[in-house]
Structure 1
């Protein structure tokens, strides 16, 4: 048995003796005690030998990846001695290839909310061991059986400082009273909810989406859209270059940027999750639960938020964030209350059909 402690050899004083004497009985007793001790010790030794000393994670990269390193990896490694290797990018296809080839090289994989729903439906991810994670308090939507929501972000309205401020998507759609060019995402999971909110649909009535109404709403605004952006870096740059005056943008790209105003009112709030690929090493999974615990700690989340203006899932985080910049973060009490959470399960079931309609819409741009 690997890791088993072998009993200390005892000398045989009289090999010719056929029956045990008092000395032999003492030696037998000692040997039995040592063997028993070895069996008792073996499981712990096996656990020590089998414990992971390094784990790998796939994350989105950029400042988001840097925030993971500063906020979570460093305290985890300091506490456990376990090294964490980060890699990116984090496309869903990469996770699928890992699982289907049965070559799972990373125990944690970052996915957006829609990709998480798709991965779970396809059986690509394992349930988390929440008892082992033992998290600090978390928002409910961040604590799923198969996924740990570690980072919130929003898609919101932003504008140049010399443009008239917006209060709603209805204002964004109103090019007469709020003149200027717009940029919207070339992403139907974002553009269609925006279009319905602009058309007066109540946030709690968005899903299931009324697709006919959404596309009619987009027809009304498309003439004012100068750019349908595909990369998150585009909206702030378009605003700074004065190519557009209003933008739908990821919050972390515009929060705190000079010359740019924003509002979280009717922002589309979303979550990035970490999941465990199906077939991951049990020892590495056990270690990874400890890293997820670090992601639940409010003080660690505050450290991560120093790197990028996205926030973790702790409802206790507000007091730890820079109070002068509190309005920049998506999950402060004030900002979270005025936003809209998506419905990833609905999108996982309907995305293919909606994408066909989206491509038809784009032909008319």
Structure 2
């Protein structure tokens, strides 16, 4: 989606050749900067990774005047990161199971009997556990960890799989190994035999950042790529490849009408979700991980 939506149009406009490398991420960024050998102009980081990169002084501030973006959502604009893609953590179920209306239903094993698959990632589970327990999304942070883990204790006996790969929930649902799941939206959208809702979903962003010490001319080119990522027509091309969405409020009108329900940031879907708080997760990562490992010992 990145290639078709953003890099191809940029190369066509500028004649500058862009080569994609995998993997991206914090480990690669840190190795490059510490070695003083900057081999990439942009790196993709999750929102907590961006906070960590800022704290470790691994990223350059972006030149937003040079990016000169078309209108984008506020949370996509960071001094050091360009939020280019939204993805959601949502509830999904077998289409022949009793439909869920929100997270409280997922926790209600009496009225919604069946096995569950939940993520083995606290960042994609603890906030959802609190919403299921009745915490209003606006009141989530700082997270009440005691309450979140108490909510997990209540449901853990009905969890058949604590998944680690995004491909697992749709497969588990289709194989009838579980009837209900928390999953990443792009993994379940459009999958046969699977229903889902964005109600009570968690919205996250993936960012692009510039490595510290990048050559100024290359940084200028990187800002041009980021500008391409703000163009709704380009975002529509990317969204046609995978059901995640870019940062433009004008994108919805360009999405295929028969697939609108699949996308995280349509007005209908964005309005019933809450945003993850990357700063809190960065600042509390060690405590959460300790509590998470303690919880898993009791499974």
Fold equivalence (TM over 0.5): yes
CA distance in 1, matches of 2:37, 2:100: 49
Q: Look up the match of 2:166.
A: 232
* CA positional deviation for 1:194: 1.2
Q: Look up the match of 1:146.
A: 80
- Structure 1 stretches (4+) deviating beyond 6 angstroms? none
- Taking structure 2 as the reference length, the TM-score comes to 0.99
* CA positional deviation for 1:115: 0.5
* CA positional deviation for 1:348: 0.7
Instruction: Structure 2: state its 5+ residue gaps.
Output: none
CA distance in 2, matches of 1:286, 1:318: 29
The alignment status of 1:292 with 2:226, answered yes or no, reads: yes
CA distance in 1, matches of 2:122, 2:20: 30
CA distance in 1, matches of 2:257, 2:75: 25
* CA positional deviation for 1:91: 3.2
The alignment status of 1:174 with 2:108, answered yes or no, reads: yes
Deviations 1:158-193 (A, max 9, x none): 000001111111100111100110000000111111
* CA positional deviation for 1:122: 1.4
Q: Look up the match of 1:161.
A: 95
Instruction: Structure 1: state its 5+ residue gaps.
Output: 1-66
Q: Look up the match of 1:133.
A: 67
Which shifted more, 273-282 or 83-92? 83-92
Q: Look up the match of 2:17.
A: 83
CA distance in 2, matches of 1:237, 1:89: 25
Equivalent position to 2:236, from 302, 305, 319: 302
Q: How does 1:86-97 map to 2 (within 5 A)?
A: 86-97=20-31
Q: Look up the match of 1:246.
A: 180
* CA positional deviation for 1:90: 2.0
Q: Secondary structure at the match of 2:138?
A: helix
CA distance in 1, matches of 2:124, 2:85: 18
Q: Look up the match of 1:343.
A: 277
Equivalent position to 2:193, from 241, 259, 275: 259
CA distance in 2, matches of 1:179, 1:302: 39
Q: Which has the higher contact order (CA 8 A, sep 6+)?
A: 2
CA distance in 1, matches of 2:226, 2:177: 42
